[in-house]
A = this chain, B = another copy of it.
């Protein structure tokens, strides 16, 4: 195995806590009161159906930044907020905070493997996030480069092609079994990392079958140890 490709939202960064904190601050600045945790969950929940519209061809290729903004405007429901403030809030997804083990684990894994993003987030989002969070990627690969969102096979195979490795020399690391299953169907290896807090305390845990993935780890440090890095 030569390279590791990481899902980002949920796997590397704690989108939920980050977005709730940004929403609370946005609410205070704009005099808006909402249940910001539910708002964050609804914002995130709008993302998969919006991508699916792109995947089915009902929408032309649209960046996550633009999908996020459409969902956000809809959730704000006509509240009087300046366009610039909406743009600034939408860029909260560029500023998500990593899980406590992410940076140290990536630094260790980077000693042995090429490490890249393989996210549905657009290149500028991933680049800005790496800068603000100190994520030490060797390169930034996004569904945007292929015009295909995960779980389309073009994303997994395109990542292997850009890195010039065979699919079986590349491992997808993710906390979402559906992403890993699609990567496996394209011939990639799979590393499942549990992120029990992704949906908040007490949130549901995905169901995974024994032996379904090549490696199961409880964080990136554990993943590094299991991969001999």
Check: A126 CB closer than 8 A to any chain B CB.
Answer: yes
**Is chain A's interface secondary structure helix, strand, loop, or mixed overall?**
helix
Q: Which of B65, B123, B138 contacts A163 (CB 8 A)?
A: B123
- Are A164 and B124 in touch, CB under 8 angstroms? yes
- Are B138 and A131 in touch, CB under 8 angstroms? yes
CB-CB under 8 A from A128, the residues of chain B are 114
How many identical chains are in the complex? Answer: 2
A-B contact list, 15 entries, CB within 8 Å: A110-B131, A114-B128, A114-B131, A116-B127, A122-B164, A123-B164, A124-B165, A126-B139, A127-B138, A127-B163, A130-B139, A137-B139, A140-B140, A144-B162, A145-B145
Nearest B residue (CB) for A117: B139
Give the distance in Å from the alpha carbon of A162 to the alpha carbon of B110 in the complex. Answer: 24
CB-CB under 8 A from A126, the residues of chain B are 139
Give the distance in Å from the alpha carbon of A137 to the alpha carbon of B140 in the complex. Answer: 10
- Are A139 and B140 in touch, CB under 8 angstroms? yes
A 80-138 contacts with B by CB, 8 A: 110, 114, 116, 122-124, 126-128, 130-131, 137-138
- Are A164 and B65 in touch, CB under 8 angstroms? yes
Nearest B residue (CB) for A145: B145
User: Other CB < 8 Å A-B pairs besides A114-B127, A123-B141, A124-B163, 19 of them?
Assistant: A65-B164, A110-B131, A116-B127, A122-B162, A122-B164, A123-B139, A123-B162, A123-B164, A124-B162, A124-B165, A127-B138, A127-B139, A127-B163, A130-B138, A131-B138, A138-B140, A139-B139, A139-B140, A144-B162
